[in-house]
Amino acid sequence: MKELTFLKDRSGHIKISKMLLSLLGLPPAFLILSFITILCALYVVTNSNPVYSVLALILTFFSISAHYVLLNAQFLAVVNLIVYAGAIMVLFLFVLMLLNLNKENEPTIKTGWYVAAAISAGLLLLILAAALHRSSESIMQNSAAEIGLVKNLGKVLFTEYLVPFELSGILFLAAMVGAVLLGKKQSTEVNSKSDTEPSEK
Amino acid sequence: MTPDTIFNSLDVSHYIYLSSVLFCIGLFGVLTRRNAIVLLMCIELMLNAVNLLFVAFSSYMGDSAGQLFVFFIMVVAAAEAAVGLAIIVMVYRNTRSTDVGLFDKLKG
């Protein structure tokens, strides 16, 4: 309450305090999920141990999937879990473990950079929020509940979006070939180099 | 709580605020972290913020195009993560570090 009276001193801040109070009237499922999402995201960003960051990011993806379920996007919720939490994050975790990165060899930066980054990110958030506040028109709600199901999404994907779908397949193939090439060819090169170069250094 | 009551009691602007906050957290991470792998993770976080916004708009407007765009973003993110991690592994073999501050060889 003390903070609220402080905020009312300036007229511009009354709206913010009102907004914060109106948050309490939101559905508890959304509030709890948003809280978990933001908390885990902050943990990802601030924690200095990369392995913990990956685990927190997996938790973030789980809560975002729960948001998708709340928004009636069941197919995307499952795909998000399988692709992001299942495949991509395991890839990250594998690379972290393979490279044996832990807290000791985590590079650090000066505190001035932290302040500058916090200011710039906060300013971006401020601009986004202000732009949203200016254009506060509510979107028409004609949400059909079955939109996020596999049947409807598949129908649209294979008719309207067939060309992008095929192109993304080609992209995947190119990425796969590129990843294998980067991972494999370079290793032989480096091995032949590492036989000669360390003596020079 | 059924999804119908969520749509009735929650405006889409709440999701916009939430994904803006997530995006800015990801941006903060990109600006502060020096580990290239954590940098990629922060980019994934920003992509997920955008995904959440796409899904929210798609659900509120009853248009399935947004959810398909999320699908394509996931494809691009997976490809990006695979190639990015391959590059990081390659760089690690050469420099024995994933500190982006050391990746300045192309400066000339």
Nearest chain A residue to B3 by CA distance is A70
**What's the whole-number mean pLDDT along residues B5-27?**
84
- Cα→Cα distances B20→A154, A179, A188, Å: 29, 32, 44
Count of domains forming chain B: 1
B47 touches chain A (CB under 8 A): no
A19 close contact with B: CB closer than 8 A: no
pLDDT tens for B43-66 read 999 999 999 999 998 888 888 888
Say if the Cβ atoms of B68 and A156 lie within 8 Å: yes
What's the CA angle centered on A80, arms B12 and A29, to 5 degrees? 45
> Hey, are the CB atoms on B3 and A101 less than 8 Å from each other?
no
Nearest CA-CA distance, residue A117 and chain B, Å: 6
CATH of the domain at B52: 1.10.287.3510
Q: What is the pLDDT of residue A191?
A: 53
pLDDT in tens, A92-102: 999 988 887 76
Looking at residue A7, what is its pLDDT? 46
Domain limits of chain A? 1-108
Answer whether residue A104 shows pLDDT above 60.
yes
Which residues of A fall within a CB distance of 8 Å from B80? Answer: 175
Q: Report how far residue B66's alpha carbon sits from residue B62's, in angstroms, rounded to the nearest whole number.
A: 9
From its phi and psi, is residue B98 left (phi > 0), alpha (psi between -120 and 50) or beta?
alpha
**At residue A24, does pLDDT exceed 90?**
no
Q: What is the pLDDT of residue B97?
A: 81
CATH number (1.10.8.350, 3.30.70.100, 1.10.600.10, 1.20.120.1200) of A1-108 reads 1.20.120.1200
User: Any CB–CB contact under 8 A between A55 and chain B?
Assistant: no
User: CB distance from A189 to chain B under 8 Å?
Assistant: no
Q: What is the pLDDT of residue A123?
A: 94
Q: How many residue pairs from chains A and B have C-beta atoms closer than 8 A?
A: 243
pLDDT in tens, A131-174: 887 776 666 566 666 777 888 888 888 999 999 999 999 999 99
In this prediction the ipTM stands at: 0.89
CB burial class (10 A; 0-12, 13-18, 19+) of residue A39?
A: middle
Contact assignment for B55 to A96 by CB distance below 8 Å? no
Range of the domain at B42: 3-107
Give tens-digit pLDDT for A32-90: 999 999 999 999 998 888 889 999 999 999 999 999 998 888 899 999 999 888 889 99
pLDDT exceeds 60 at position A186: no
B57 vs B63: CA distance, rounded Å: 8
- If pLDDT is split at 50, 70 and 90, which confidence band does A15 have? low
User: What is the token pair recorded at A26?
Assistant: 């939101």
